[in-house]
Amino acid sequence: MKLIHTSDWHLGHILYNLDRNAEHEAFLKQLCELVQTEKPDALLVSGDIFDSAQPSIPAQRLYNRMMIEIARTNPDTIFIDEGFGTLSPKCLEGVYETLASLKQVVGKKVGIIGHVEYLKENIHPQILVEPIGNGLSIIQDPS
């Protein structure tokens, strides 16, 4: 299985009053190109996607647009080890809508690895990870 793993995007981060949106745009464009070139079986996005619990509207729009663009490029499955536990309920709702659209509009499987009840309740599992002991797990596709 070919996997691309990313983490710590920190979308919306401002450094010494400098908006880093252009840097994030460039990173996500590179990621889309990498996914298109490498054609992984899955993309893993783990933790700290946004820099704050109340990400800016441009950061949210960038996330939404890029997740859909990445999904359209290749991987059948996107695992998200979310780190969404710090987001406000309103921001979490926006994230949910984007993830749900990946399944409905683009036809991708989305696996949420996490603890946020709202997402666990609203995005029906596409991939189940069941611990079997001794640090081992079984991955199941219930569909």
Residue 122: Cβ within 10 Å count: 15
- Provide the pLDDT for residue 64: 81
Parent domain of 51: 3-140
String of b and e for 75-96 (b: at least 16 CB within 10 Å)? bebbbbbbbbeebeeebbebbb
Q: Is the pLDDT of residue 114 over 70?
A: no
- Provide the pLDDT for residue 118: 65
Q: Is the pLDDT of residue 26 over 90?
A: yes
Residue 2: Cβ within 10 Å count: 9
pLDDT grade for 139, boundaries at 50, 70 and 90:
confident
Q: Is the pLDDT of residue 5 over 80?
A: yes
pLDDT tens by residue, 39-88: 888 888 877 888 877 888 888 888 888 878 887 777 666 666 565 666 77
Assign residue 78 the CATH number of its domain.
3.60.21.10
Residue 3: Cβ within 10 Å count: 13
Count of domains in the chain? 1
Q: Is the pTM above the cut of 0.85? A: no
- Provide the pLDDT for residue 16: 92
